[in-house]
C-alpha cells in the first residue's frame, strides 16, 4: 500500500496527504518541456516573464498520462476513494505557472474548487459544490517543479474540509456556488495553514472540500504545478447518502456532520 494507516488517519483529520516521489522527476522534466513550449515565454529569460501567472489548460501527452497514473498514485486512489470508485485520469490540467513578479496575480483568494455545472453553464464562477461532492473525489496538486517556501506554494487550510462539509450540508444536492462558498469561508489563522512544498514528482492528495489558496511568488524560478480533480466513477462520491460508505474521503465528511441524517 502507498499510504499507512496513520497517513490515512491524517488525511481524514487534516484533509490532505503529501506523497513524495509519486511520479519520477524524469517524467516531471519531460512534461515541463512540453509546457514551456506553450507558455509564451522562456524559462531562463526573466525579461520574458511579463505576467505573475500564466495558465495552461489540459494535456494528455504520454508523460502526463504516466505521471497521473503511476502505480503509487493508483494504490493511493484505491485507499482514499475505494476500488472501482474513481475514473483513471486521461491527462492533467490545469497548470498555473507562477513567476517572481511585482504585480499581484489577482487569483490568490481562499476557495474550494467547484465540481459541477448547473445546466452546463460554461462560467466556472457559477459552478457549484455539494455535500455529495458531485464530480470530484479528490483535489490533487502535482508538483512539476521543485517548490520551496518562497516559490508560491499552495496554501492549505488544515482541517477546513470539515468546516466546509458543515456549510454544504444544509443545501443538499443543490449545493453552493463557487463564489458564495469562497465568500463565506472563515478567516484562517496562520498556525492552521500548511504549505504544499516538495521536490518535483510530489503529489498532494486533498479532500475535495479542502480550502486552499495561491500566494505571491517570492523565489527566483518559476513554479509549475497541475491541480486536477480525480473524478468519481458514479458521478458523485455517494449517490444516495453518506452513511454506510466507508472510504476515508467520505468518513471525513461523515465525521464532520455528527448525527446529521443523510
Identify the DSSP state of 145: S
Residue 165 belongs to domain with CATH number: 2.60.120.620
In a domain? residue 108: yes
- Residue 191 in contact with residue 155, Cβ under 8 Å? no
3-state SS record for 18-80: EECCCCCHHHHHHHHHHHHHHCCCCCCCHHHCCCCEEEEEEECCHHHHHHHCCHHHHHHHHHH
> At what angle are helices 248-257 and 71-81 packed, to 10 degrees?
30
> At what angle are helices 248-257 and 160-168 packed, to 10 degrees?
70
Distances (CA, A) of 37 to 31, 92, 151, 227: 10, 16, 21, 19
3-state class (DSSP) for residue 167: helix
Distances (CA, A) of 26 to 62, 95, 201, 217, 226: 13, 18, 9, 25, 16
In a domain? residue 106: yes
Distances (CA, A) of 158 to 114, 184, 240: 19, 17, 28
pLDDT at 234: 87
Alpha helix ranges (H) inside the chain: 5-14, 25-38, 62-68, 71-81, 160-168, 178-184, 248-257
- Residue 143 in contact with residue 255, Cβ under 8 Å? no
In a domain? residue 261: no
d(CA 99, CA 79): 35
pLDDT along the chain (262 residues), means of 10: 96 98 98 97 95 97 98 98 94 96 94 92 89 95 98 98 96 95 96 97 98 97 97 76 70 79 44
d(CA 220, CA 240): 49
Residue 167: φ, ψ to 5° = -70, -35
- Residue 107 in contact with residue 101, Cβ under 8 Å? no
- Residue 68's nearest CA partner among 237, 232, 226, 249 is 226
In a domain? residue 262: no
In a domain? residue 25: yes
- Residue 214's nearest CA partner among 190, 230, 195, 200 is 195
pLDDT at 123: 85
pLDDT at 241: 47
Total count of residues recorded for the chain: 262
The C-alpha cell that represents 232 in the structure block: 468519481
Domains in the chain, number: 1
Q: Which domain holds residue 143?
A: 5-256
Amino acid at each position: 500500500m502507498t499510504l499507512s494507516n496513520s497517513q490515512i488517519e491524517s488525511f481524514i483529520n487534516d484533509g490532505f496527504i503529501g506523497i513524495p516521489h509519486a511520479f519520477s522527476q524524469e517524467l516531471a522534466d519531460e512534461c515541463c518541456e512540453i509546457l514551456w513550449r506553450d507558455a509564451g515565454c522562456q524559462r531562463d529569460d526573466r525579461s520574458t516573464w511579463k505576467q505573475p501567472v500564466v495558465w495552461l489548460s489540459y494535456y494528455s501527452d504520454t508523460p502526463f498520462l504516466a505521471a497521473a497514473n503511476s502505480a503509487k498514485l493508483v494504490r493511493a486512489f484505491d485507499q482514499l476513494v475505494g476500488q472501482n470508485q474513481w475514473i483513471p485520469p486521461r491527462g492533467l490540467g490545469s497548470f498555473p505557472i507562477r513567476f517572481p513578479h511585482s504585480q499581484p496575480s489577482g487569483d490568490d483568494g481562499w476557495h474550494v474548487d467547484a465540481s459541477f455545472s448547473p445546466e452546463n453553464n460554461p462560467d466556472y464562477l457559477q459552478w457549484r459544490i455539494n455535500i455529495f461532492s458531485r464530480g470530484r473525489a479528490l483535489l490533487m496538486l502535482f508538483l512539476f517543479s521543485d517548490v520551496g517556501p518562497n516559490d508560491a506554494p499552495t496554501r492549505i487550510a488544515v482541517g477546513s474540509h470539515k468546516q466546509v462539509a458543515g456549510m454544504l450540508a444544509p443545501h443538499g444536492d443543490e449545493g453552493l456556488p463557487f463564489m458564495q462558498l469562497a465568500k463565506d469561508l472563515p478567516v484562517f489563522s496562520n498556525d492552521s495553514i500548511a504549505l504544499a512544498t516538495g521536490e518535483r514528482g510530489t503529489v498532494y492528495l486533498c479532500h475535495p472540500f479542502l480550502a486552499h489558496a495561491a500566494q505571491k511568488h517570492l523565489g527566483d524560478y518559476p513554479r509549475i504545478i497541475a491541480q486536477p480533480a480525480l473524478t468519481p466513477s458514479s458521478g458523485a462520491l455517494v449517490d444516495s447518502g453518506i452513511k454506510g460508505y466507508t472510504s476515508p474521503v467520505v468518513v471525513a465528511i461523515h465525521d464532520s456532520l455528527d448525527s446529521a441524517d443523510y
